[in-house]
Amino acid sequence: MANTVENDNTAIIETNTDSSSCKLYAISRDYWSDPYMKFFTTKHERKTPEINIGYYIRVTAIRKFLKKFIQQTNQQCQIINLGCGYDTTYFNLQDDPSLNVKHFIDIDFYQITEIKTRLIRRTPQLAEKLNINEEEESISIPGGLHTSTYTILPVDLREISSLDKQLQLIEKNLDYNLPTFFLSECVLIYMSLENSTNLLSYITQKFSTCFFLNFEQINMFDRFGQIMYDNLKQRCCHLLGIQACKSKQTQCQRFIDTNFQQAQLISLNDYYKQYVDIREKQRLDKIDGGLDEKELLEQLFDHYCFCWAYKDPLNIGLDKVTS
């Protein structure tokens, strides 16, 4: 790719470090439970209640989507986490024996997957989850890891040919006809629209039945969104895919344009109001002494969303996997 801005991954990789730090702090404050994040990062600086609650909604909502998908597909499914960072979703799923998944794949830049793989190998609590000592890895993946149930693949998602080659390495444990859940958290916005369109088109061409959950920014062309954009730009985080984050329509339309059957969206603000019950809100409010400015929370939450889309030619009921 000729675009040197898009070729510079340093700032994007740093957002993963920031995200892990935010999650670890919120976990330490008991916003939600995750016994595995501490193995991937030790950095956790104090964050505001708005940030903590935002991450709480992000994590708990994704878990609910995953659970609904696994139950709807009768556990005959696979999960692919795009731009996974140091996400611990696989390990947390392993703690619920009712949620069996045939195969789980984490994908990210080599700089991240190499560190993640090394941390897993040298941490007994993580290695034991994979039976690494008992299960011989049949495939050697530089900067990655492969077992019969879990794979870490180093891939630049803007390079579709590279993605395809890496997936071919593990085709023995990958079924393109099996219902597949794709998870993407603040990934597509860092790609050009051309590259994200190519990625989504590849998914619908390659996987016969698929569900895509995207957590990302929205309403990025109002005043608050512009401030967010400028702040990230100052950190050299260039939001090359911002045009798709203009509105509900633009977020959903890119999935329709890449052969998903249907797309839906809910803002973080609406999710908080509709799906977090009053008792849970009260619990969250007590953790850090309440919100100083509820208006700031609403503004922030109006600029993030969950957008989901599916392709379901066999009518197995992916339309029932909703917020």
Tens-place pLDDT, residues 277-321: 999 999 999 998 877 678 889 999 999 999 999 999 999 999 999
Among 2-16, 137-151, 185-199, the range of highest mean pLDDT: 185-199
pLDDT for 4 equals 43
Q: What is this structure's pTM?
A: 0.95
Taking every pair of Cα atoms in the chain, the longest distance, rounded to a whole number of angstroms, is 55
Token pair of 242 as six digits: 């911002």
pLDDT for 8 equals 67
Annotated binding site for S-adenosyl-L-methionine: 58, 83, 156-157, 185
311: which residues sit within 8 A by CB, 6+ positions away? Answer: 204, 207, 208, 209, 210, 211, 259, 260, 261, 318
- Architecture of 4-320 per CATH? 3-Layer(aba) Sandwich (3.40)
pLDDT at 1 over 90: no
pLDDT at 19 over 70: yes
- Per-residue model confidence as pLDDT tens digits over 96-148: 988 989 999 999 999 999 999 999 999 999 998 887 655 555 678 999 999 98
Q: How many CB atoms lie within 10 A of CB 173?
A: 18
What are the residue boundaries of the structural domains of the chain, listed by start? 4-320
pLDDT at 2 over 50: no
Q: Which residues pair with 152 in a beta bridge?
A: 106, 145
Annotated binding site: 58, 83, 156-157, 185
115: which residues sit within 8 A by CB, 6+ positions away? Answer: 86
pLDDT for 274 equals 96
270: which residues sit within 8 A by CB, 6+ positions away? Answer: none
- Per-residue model confidence as pLDDT tens digits over 39-80: 999 887 889 999 999 999 999 999 999 999 999 998 789 999
d(CA 301, CA 299): 6
Mean predicted lDDT score pLDDT of the chain? 92
pLDDT for 12 equals 86
